[in-house]
């Protein structure tokens, strides 16, 4: 059994991150802990809580936060994604978790999925407070992945929109916006695939999420290549969970990147596509992560 609490984590800029803290009951000594966050343009309400519950049931303290500008966390402009800002904030979440009296500060692991799976590489490689890392369906190379989602004839139009947005911001206008998902080919959106539309548009509490995103978030995502950090994660143990038919965090890019990781490492292939680890593959994905954390924390 465990208790779930709402907590706030102060970060730079006078902003508080909203988080859920899962505390196992009936423990006599500080416990190992896991810090978690969601991927690109999601919130802690988007299919991620079952993983936190599985970790808490296995005896880990779990901290699951919304990134700044998203969900119940503070920050402006809303729906704006800067990966390096998210990583900076996540370090503060690690510090918060280590300071909790229920936590053994020397046994903290990180779990990230999709875009945050890329963050798990960066943090696992650059923050040795973390003693184990799990990256599920992780972003490897934003530029290479972006080229697979946008046909060659569409790149010039996207670059023109980026340039227009920069000029408008120079003149004091707010960042341009686009939809996160849309099934309409005529509507600019970060994702068009049916499985992405279904996942992002799942029911969440009113006011927590909206189907909009700053255009510059797409530019930053295309500049972000966290797979470059994979060889540096070692000696921190790294588990990669890769979906067999992932067209978002593309499967072949992930498999190639895994070969660059040093020991200790483990690769687990999951059935289905990018969103199946939250759905049909949830039992397998959560069990593999629990086993990894138990072994190394």
Q: Is residue 207 part of a domain?
A: no
Q: Is residue 43 part of a domain?
A: yes
Paired residues of 37 in beta bridges? 65, 112
Question: Which residue has 């503070």 as its token pair?
Answer: 74
Return all residues near 97 (Cβ < 8 A) that are at least 6 apart: 33, 35, 61, 63, 103, 108
pLDDT tens profile 127-165: 999 999 999 999 999 999 988 888 888 899 999 999 999
Q: Is residue 193 part of a domain?
A: no
Q: Is residue 61 part of a domain?
A: yes
Give every strand in the sheet of 61-65, ordered side by side: 2-11, 15-24, 61-65, 31-37, 103-113, 130-136, 238-243, 265-270
SS3 of 208, please? coil
SS3 of 40, please? coil
Domains of the chain: total: 1
Q: Which ranges of the chain does DSSP label H, i.e. alpha helix? A: 49-57, 83-99, 115-126, 142-149, 152-170, 194-200, 215-223, 230-233, 251-258, 282-296
Q: Is residue 153 part of a domain?
A: no
Q: Are 12 and 59 in contact (CB under 8 A)?
A: no
- Rounded Cα distance between 68 and 61, Å, is 22
pLDDT tens profile 18-38: 999 999 998 889 999 999 999
Residue 156: CB atoms within 10 Å: 9
Question: Which residue has 């080919």 as its token pair?
Answer: 185
Burial label, 283 (beta-carbon count in 10 A; 0-12, 13-18, 19+): exposed
Residue 185 has pLDDT above 90, yes or no: no
- At residue 286 the predicted structure's pLDDT band, cuts being 50, 70 and 90, is very high
- Rounded Cα distance between 33 and 88, Å, is 19
SS3 of 59, please? coil
- Rounded Cα distance between 122 and 164, Å, is 31
Q: Is residue 197 part of a domain?
A: no
- Rounded Cα distance between 227 and 50, Å, is 26
The CATH code of the domain that includes 11 is: 3.40.50.1820
Q: Is residue 211 part of a domain?
A: no
Return all residues near 4 (Cβ < 8 A) that are at least 6 apart: 20, 21, 22, 23, 56
Pick the range with the lowest mean pLDDT from 1-5, 172-176, 189-193: 189-193
pLDDT tens profile 85-117: 999 999 999 999 999 999 999 999 999 999 999
Residue 282 has pLDDT above 90, yes or no: yes
Q: Is residue 194 part of a domain?
A: no
pLDDT tens profile 33-68: 999 999 999 999 999 999 999 999 999 999 999 999
- Rounded Cα distance between 62 and 134, Å, is 14
Q: Are 292 and 239 in contact (CB under 8 A)?
A: yes
Q: Which domain holds residue 242?
A: 2-147+223-296
Residue 31: CB atoms within 10 Å: 18
Return all residues near 168 (Cβ < 8 A) that are at least 6 apart: 176
- Rounded Cα distance between 66 and 83, Å, is 13
- Rounded Cα distance between 170 and 96, Å, is 37
Please state, rounded to an integer, the average pLDDT across all residues of the chain. Answer: 97
């Amino acid at each position: 059994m465990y208790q779930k609490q709402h907590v706030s984590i102060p970060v730079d800029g006078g902003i508080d991150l909203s988080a859920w803290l899962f505390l196992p009951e009936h423990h006599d000594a500080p416990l190992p802990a896991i810090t978690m966050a969601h991927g690109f343009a999601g919130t802690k309400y988007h299919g991620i809580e079952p993983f936190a519950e599985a970790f808490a049931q296995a005896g880990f303290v779990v901290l699951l936060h919304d990134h700044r500008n998203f969900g119940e966390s503070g920050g402006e402009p809303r729906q704006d994604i800067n990966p390096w800002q998210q990583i900076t904030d996540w370090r503060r979440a690690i510090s918060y978790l280590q300071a909790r009296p229920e936590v053994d500060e020397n046994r903290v692991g990180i779990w990230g999925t999709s875009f945050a799976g890329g963050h798990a590489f960066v943090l696992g490689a650059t923050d040795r407070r973390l003693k184990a890392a799990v990256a599920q369906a992780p972003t490897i190379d934003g530029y290479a992945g972006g080229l697979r989602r946008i046909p060659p004839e569409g790149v010039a139009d996207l670059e023109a929109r980026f340039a227009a947005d920069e000029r408008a911001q120079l003149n004091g206008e707010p960042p341009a916006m686009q939809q996160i998902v849309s099934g309409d080919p005529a509507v600019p959106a970060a994702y068009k695939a049916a499985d992405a539309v279904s996942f992002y548009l799942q029911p969440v509490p009113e006011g927590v999420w909206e189907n909009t995103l700053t255009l510059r978030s797409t530019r930053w995502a295309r500049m972000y290549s966290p797979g470059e950090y994979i060889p540096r994660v070692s000696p921190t143990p790294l588990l990669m969970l890769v979906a067999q038919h992932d067209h978002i965090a593309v499967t072949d890019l992930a498999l190639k990147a895994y070969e660059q990781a040093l020991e200790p490492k483990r690769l687990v292939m999951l059935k289905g596509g990018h969103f199946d680890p939250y759905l049909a593959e949830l039992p397998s994905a959560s069990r593999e992560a629990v086993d990894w954390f138990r072994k190394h924390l």
